Structure 1
Amino acid sequence: MRNPTGRQLRFGAELRKLRERAGLTATEAGQLLGIKQAQISNMEAGRVGVSPERVRALACHYDCADQPLVQALGDMTSERSRGWWEEYRETLPSTLLDLAEMEHHAVRLRAGITAHIPGLLQIHDHAREVFRQVVPELTPPDVEHRLSFRIKRQTVLFSDSPTPYHVLIHEAALRMQFGGREVTKRQLQHVISMSERSHITVQVIPFTAGAYPGSGQSILYAHGPVPQLDTVHLDQSHGSALIDAEAQLDKYRVLLDRMAATALPPEESRELIHVIAQSL
């Protein structure tokens, strides 16, 4: 049996939250459904599939009246099919696959980036240079493997129903010359072009804005079909982390709101990117 994906783990964790809020043990929940405690534990660990009907039955026994949440959880049960990212299962860290899966299922994406162009907006040559700087150093084939994975992640912005994407980029990231001046110029033109798409909003936080909350980290906020299923992805040198605790979600929503208030409006942001590109 394959290990559960990040999304399957999240689904099981939400079932466990519903049970615990009802004040029931796994054994008691199993008795209500006429199944063994082990089966409840396997569902909550994301190890087995659960039908929409069973989700509704669990919600009923758990006295959960939040129908949008129950519907969203029911919809998640039909999504155990293999996504494109599964072809990388044996060659890339599972955290990267969980990121692609999260982006694929998000209904909206928000990001706050300080020191680099966000992966969803990177061109090939820029991304290739980013991967060449990974520690420990990647082999040339591994660099190209990661590059292909990053480019495939970008399909969420190009599908027939593209995911709305709002990204806050610090001016420092725009001035980092990954791959040299010509690559940087093409990268900035690509950001400008993408920002003109109706579903993409790019705001720049200029150097003149000074200090702002969240300046020390890269944040990706993936909105689920209901707020309880939102997820935050933090990108760190030692790996990535997925956060879904309600208090932490509230914190990162506020951080991104305050970053957006610090940033230039979209039109002024595009103009600043133009100015930086022309100076290269």
Structure 2
Amino acid sequence: MAGRAAPTARRTRLGAELRKLRERAGMTTTQAADLLGTSAGQLSNIEVARFGVSAERVRVAAHTYSCTDQALIEALATMTGDRKRGWWEEYREILPPKLLDLAEIEHHGTGLQAAHSIHIPGLLQTIDHAREIYRQAVPEMSPPEIEHRVSYRVKRQAVLYRDDAVPYRALIHEAALRMRFGGPDVARAQLLHLLKLSEQAHVTIRVIPFEVTYYPGSGQSVYYVQGSVPALDTAQLDQSHGPVFIDSEAQLTQYRLLLERLDAAALSSAKSRDLVRKIAQEL
């Protein structure tokens, strides 16, 4: 098998999940390799995504590790078949690899949910709003880098418009709606864009108003991408140095609970639209 210098996010996640199954079975790489009829080195290369693996080998490995979750096994087997690289590859030498991984994970997600307290979620941003956000980045970005980031963000937004678009749910604090990035005209256009997007059947936008007396969590942005089975979900956190991906079972459970509590604090979709419209009229 030939290795790749830049494995896809799906291959990386597949290798990580196979490693989790092996470790839960209490096996070392040497023990597992003996049972699977391969070498410890080759098994390690699969787990760190240097080598690919066939769907049948995934099934054999899962059963060897005593995994009884058939839905998970089949989901992992499906992850071996997609060798096609997506649009994000054109940015391979231009943007940080983690951003490309985000686009790939998002592309294959079965449901998307974002929670933001200061910024409008990236998939919902207008071009002018996004450009202003990048202009304010620290460290400062060059004009070409800003434009690369903006075009990348716009192409990510295609997941909301494709024929097989998955459900998208955004929980946005009122503070984010009142931020005037780019000035009143840009801010107003951004709010009207939110109203337009909220009319799509698969898009739900709900606002957490200032009047709510609690706000669960630390206030950081959370982006939750549902996999084909819950064990393959991914939580993504925004950090100043770039996106951080979380896929451990305990942490995913924690972020699901956080999103549920934020959801409970938010206005209904209709009342959220009324508040967005009111703020836009005030600009």
TM-score with structure 2 length normalisation? 0.96
1:84 shift after superposition: 0.8
1:255 aligns to 2:258 (yes or no): yes
Question: Contact 1:114–1:215 (CA<8 Å) still a contact in 2?
Answer: no
CA distance in 2, matches of 1:19, 1:78: 21
Fraction of identical pairs, as percent = 59
The secondary structure found in structure 1 opposite 2:211 is helix
Backbone CA RMSD of aligned residues: 1.0
Match of 2:163 in 1: 160
Match of 2:83 in 1: 80
Question: Contact 1:232–1:244 (CA<8 Å) still a contact in 2?
Answer: yes
CA distance in 1, matches of 2:243, 2:164: 27
Question: Aligned pairs, how many?
Answer: 280
- The residue type equivalent to 1:179 in the other structure is G
CA distance in 2, matches of 1:240, 1:208: 30
1:186 aligns to 2:184 (yes or no): no
CA distance in 2, matches of 1:141, 1:43: 37
Question: Contact 1:107–1:225 (CA<8 Å) still a contact in 2?
Answer: yes
Match of 1:42 in 2: 45
The secondary structure found in structure 2 opposite 1:242 is strand
1:266 aligns to 2:269 (yes or no): yes
Q: Any idea what the Cα deviations from partners look like across 1:225-248, whole Å, max 9, x if unmatched?
A: 111101100001122210011111
CA distance in 2, matches of 1:61, 1:261: 42
CA distance in 1, matches of 2:55, 2:209: 48
CA distance in 1, matches of 2:46, 2:190: 44
1:211 shift after superposition: 2.6
Match of 1:211 in 2: 214
Q: Any idea what the Cα deviations from partners look like across 1:19-47, whole Å, max 9, x if unmatched?
A: 11222211121112211111110111111
Gaps of at least 5 residues in structure 1 are: none
Match of 2:35 in 1: 32
Q: Any idea what the Cα deviations from partners look like across 1:162-207, whole Å, max 9, x if unmatched?
A: 0210110000100111111111111101101111111011000001
CA distance in 2, matches of 1:214, 1:274: 27
Match of 2:151 in 1: 148
1:80 shift after superposition: 3.1
CA distance in 1, matches of 2:98, 2:166: 21
Match of 2:13 in 1: 10
Gaps of at least 5 residues in structure 2 are: none
Per mean C-alpha deviation after superposition, the further-off stretch among 57-66 and 127-136 is: 57-66
CA distance in 1, matches of 2:259, 2:117: 12
Question: Contact 1:120–1:150 (CA<8 Å) still a contact in 2?
Answer: yes
Question: Contact 1:168–1:202 (CA<8 Å) still a contact in 2?
Answer: yes
CA distance in 2, matches of 1:121, 1:214: 22
1:8 shift after superposition: 2.1
1:215 shift after superposition: 4.6
CA distance in 2, matches of 1:80, 1:25: 29
Question: Contact 1:103–1:222 (CA<8 Å) still a contact in 2?
Answer: yes
TM-score with structure 1 length normalisation? 0.97
Question: Contact 2:116–2:219 (CA<8 Å) still a contact in 1?
Answer: no
Match among 134, 139, 161 for residue 136 of structure 1? 139
1:100 aligns to 2:103 (yes or no): yes
